[in-house]
Amino acid sequence: MSTEERGTTGSGLDRLASVNLNLLVPLLALLEERSVTRAAERVGLSQPAMSHALTRMRRLLGDELVVRQGSGVTLTPRAVELLEPLRAALQQTARVVNLPRFDPATDRRVITVAMTTSTAFVVGPRLTRLLAERAPHATLRVRTFTVPSEATFVEQGVDVVLLSEGHHAPHPRERLYDDRLVVVASPDSPADADALTLIGTLPHIVVDTRRRVFPYSELEERGVPYRVGLLSSDYLLVPFLVARAGGVALLRHQVAKAMRELSDLRIEEFPFPLPALGIDMVWNPRLADQPFLAWLRELLLDVAAGL
């Protein structure tokens, strides 16, 4: 190596040695969370300490990094350029230093699973029990959403999103369990009436949306008459109202089965073939702790196996 090459290499290392590398972890948290408060919580700093770190990072990089926009914040172009290289560098650093492997018997992390309220109603109890058995010091945090956004998959410290196959995800997904649509009615409904008769004769309790709800489009295409008797903004309220007030509704089987444990509910198969309604696992692409991810995947699959 020439003197000039040694000088260039040495100069780069010397400059790197002068940088406080402890700032890189909170910097990545800030760029990913886009919130000083959430970034501080994620890396275990107080909010004033995180604000101080942001000031030092801005001075070091000569850029504002995050700027206020309306009620939130947005990344500067320089920050957007930094995000992927910084994430890759820190993930590689974690592998180089060979951090201790995940041990569920002693780990005290917060495990965050995002899902709809109805999915939480189905998997939440068994997930809570299995987690308490297998990782007794960990904490489960359930975050719920109605319709997922891009932020659902990467913000708020989410480890995995449980998502209906009908919703788009920008990241790879894997099936957790299959579900199907069923007809639910009050236990007082006519015992000799089949599913199609129930659909055509009893008032429907339907989730209130501005669009035609699947599978009512299927009924309309087949010319099956039905009448909506009640609109509810809460999906989980629908089977409870059916059980206690009468009528009929079209629900996911797993939700209906879970609700039947709380309120007597009649469940019949939908009278026509329909596409599957599976629930998938979508992992946060930021996560690099492969032993933990493999363990959590196995835990969720065990949860699904018991449904």
Query: pLDDT averaged over consecutive 10-residue blocks of the chain (307 residues)?
Result: 45 65 85 83 86 89 86 83 83 68 88 95 97 96 87 79 90 94 96 96 90 84 94 93 95 95 94 92 84 94 96
Asked whether the CA dihedral 105, 110, 112, 118 is positive or negative, the reply is: positive
Task: For residue 133, give both structure tokens.
Answer: 């058995």
Radius of gyration for the alpha carbons in the chain, expressed in angstroms and rounded: 25
Q: What phi and psi, each to the nearest 5 degrees, are found at residue 267?
A: -125, 125
209: left (phi over 0), alpha (psi -120 to 50) or beta: beta
pLDDT at 18: 66
110-178+278-305 has which CATH code? 3.40.190.10
Asked whether the CA dihedral 85, 91, 95, 97 is positive or negative, the reply is: positive
pLDDT at 290: 82
Asked whether the CA dihedral 105, 110, 114, 117 is positive or negative, the reply is: positive
3-96 has which CATH code? 1.10.10.10
Task: For residue 126, give both structure tokens.
Answer: 């068994």
Q: How many whole angstroms from its chain centre is CA 198?
A: 35
pLDDT at 97: 66
pLDDT at 182: 97
Global confidence as pTM: 0.71
Q: Where are the domains of the chain?
A: 3-96, 110-178+278-305, 181-269
Same fold, 110-178+278-305 and 181-269: yes
Dihedral in degrees, nearest 10, Cα atoms 236, 241, 242, 248? -80
- Tell me the CA distances in angstroms from 270 to 100, 152, 198, 227, 275, one per residue in order: 51, 32, 11, 17, 11
Q: What is the domain class of 181-269 according to CATH?
A: alpha beta
Count of alpha carbons within 13 Å of 233, Cβ hemisphere only? Answer: 0
